Structure 1
Amino acid sequence: MSVISEEQVRGGSSVFTDISADDENLQPTELESLCMNCFQNGTTRLLLTRIPFFKEIILSSFSCAACGWANTEIQSAGQIQEQGVCYTLRVRSKQDLNREVVKADSATTRIPELDFEIPPFTQKGSLSTVEGLLDRAVSGLEQEQPVRRAAEPELAQKIDQFILKLKKLKDVEQEFSLVIEDPSGNSFVENPSAPHRDEALAVTRFKRTVQQDVQLGIRADEDQDEEPAGDDLETMRNEVLVFNTNCPECGAPASTNMKLVNIPHFKEVIIMATNCDGCGHRTNEVKSGGATEELGTRISLHVTDPSDMTRDLLKSETCSVIIPELEFELGMAALGGKFTTLEGLLKDIKDLIVVKNPFVCGDSGAEDRVQKLAQFGEKIDKIVAGELKIHLILDDPAGNSYLQNVYAPDEDPEMVVEKYSRTFEQNEDLGLNDMKTEGYQEEKS
């Protein structure tokens, strides 16, 4: 077992040695640490090394003899650089697949020819090769394929076809581009011709945006206050805002988290969640980020397959839910605003009507009423399991509700979206009849 001495730590750069397969003295430091899989003691190996023509890195590897769990990752031993870096490599031969690549967890990996992208912070940092990056991407896509083949066979088939395209890249029958963009500046692609220029590799430096600084956890400088308003709004879209409030149950101080979310093919909404550490009470609510629409919206979905349960759904506080087959209608004030899935909405309806209904709990509940509601709960369970086909209707006079179209941008054959003019009574419920927004200043003067 190797141990880092105090003299080495004081010496700074002497701790890091050039990486080499021929150096027998290059031994990792071994530490006993806790396995997060079985909670027995395992072994962590740390190797502090220097990549030629680049910088120092820390390689860490954990293995547990008790359960066999293993994990490896890479961390930069240096600070976040002043500028981000973007490497564009033209892979022209199989020799290019052997280039060493340091990919930080903040890096985005793209293959433009396949329109393929691995977003930042979705993978741990790694020290690999170009071929290793391709293998890791294939492994990540194959991981959930058995589940997809059962739930979404068409999607699984498309991913299988895409996996074949990724695997075919390793044959290098045609050249392709590999782009690694890292705002921290700590990623690296090997130049085998170093210190000479590499004709196949383009390296560019760039200034980070405010959003990238926030993702990296860097405090904004004073001059960033002068950023354009568009950048400030983009930063807010990627931030979770926290403000102090009181718990609605026990009145103790609590915190409310607020996040602005953009729903594809719809609009922006505000998601608010409150957690109380005192009594454990938790609430969540969704508010529309836009104004009341000129027309109301009625969305009708024919639920025919269990995969429909995974559709994203936004129910505003003004939306009614109707299930004709069950002769059921949920008023606009019930359940409040929610951003969930179709399965989540049905389970919330069951909890509201069957589980948390105070008029059917204990001795106060009549037997016939309890039995009817129990049967209603069983029907909801059958709908979720795909055993009962229904029509689900979301009727929102404010036009601020949404149900995911899984065929977007094409039309969904199982879903109908209608726009309609509100009645006087609906405008009255929304408080629009007495709302004056035009000519207000002239009338006041």
Structure 2
Amino acid sequence: MAEDRNQTTEEKTKPIFRNLTADDPEPETTEIESLCMNCEKNGVTRLLLTKIPHYKDVVVMSFDCEHCGFQNNEIQNSGKIAEKGIRIKLQVKTPRDLNRQVVKSDYTSVKIPFLDFEIPSKSQRGEITTIEGIIERTINGLEQDQSERREKYPDAATQIDQFLEKLRKLKSLAEPFTMIFEDVSGECHVENPKAPLQDDGCVTVQFRRTTEQDHILGIYSENTDDTLLKPIQEGEYTLEQIEGEVLSFRTNCPECNCPCETNMKLTKIPHFKEVLIMATVCESCGHRTNEVKSGGGIEPMGVKIEVTVAGKEDFSRDLLKSETCHMQIPELELEIGPAALDGRFTTVEGILVAIKEQLSSSTAFTGDSSDPETVKRMVVFISHLNEVLEGKQKITLVLDDPAGNSYIQSFSDEGLDSGLKITKYERNFDQNEELGLNDMKVQDY
């Protein structure tokens, strides 16, 4: 009886979305009888709730019809929508690039400028595939119903045949080409085969969605004009009260999706600015997160901060990484985008430990499909990080924040800290575009 109770308790504590591992050879799936769109008889759809590491919770759907043999698979997002859209520009030069894994959502459009060709987001469902798989599916789609088209529109059929030949040449890499993924939901992801090193062939840019793009995702902002003009009533919080209070609100755990609470506090970092610190603790799975957002808006100029990390004293420096900040460690050829670690208020040592923990939990170390070369590269990289944390290797930590909201503590109030270099710079057009400033009207409004 005790064993049965323990087993029942263990089953209840299992998260809804679980990682696919060799320890869980038979993951829980749900089977639903559904209509086959090919022969209009009933087939079977299987649903699997799982996690894509460094991405999010997804529902993987697979359809199979035993009558006509038709098969189909797709994925759907099961978490919250990202705050920004994402645009990924990939240079395809080698066979390894053709084999890069791609996670496409329902809202991802694909462009090949070399052929002046675009696959609209509505024409393909979300899926996990490769660059070559996208090209192959496009070829198969254009080849469908060609016999009827040749009879009615021979000229159009000839043009399609010529275009198909160009697509096939892309697969043979007759010459390098560029592929652009644009996803208004911000959920598209392209594999970095050099992870954890910088991906030289891929450029990722986040952008703010327009009102029309928000409506495509089903996001509608409430009319808050009346509340903005409403005076503070008795019993409501004033700014002074908010600064001294820890506010709590209900949310879902990003790890197991169970209900939990997020605590939020407005505080001021000495010699810097006000920030919002948010912390979430899940009682169900024990997952903890902390995130920092700037409370003072976007600064007039971007900031680049370089700090030399050579010992314990440098590890103790306070560090604020905003949600728009890029991080680099040139000695380790490491570059981390803004979304990788979100906004954090920690120390130099804390951010290095966070990088190590994220890389250690990567699927490069687990699963039957792990690439031995990637595993070896990860092990070597983490060993270098351990040497840095033990003070055996000197590095330079670079924070590059176009919004100017990142900060590293100086050991001198007069700005004579030899280990710290702060450079402010004018943002370029692309950086302003990513921050949503190019379309912002602030004069004669």
Q: What interval of TM-score do these two structures reach, taking the shorter chain for normalisation?
A: 0.3 to 0.5
Report the structure number with the largest CA radius of gyration: 1
- Which protein, 1 or 2, shows the higher relative CO under an 8 Å CA cutoff with sep ≥ 6? 2
* TM-score, L = length of structure 2: 0.46
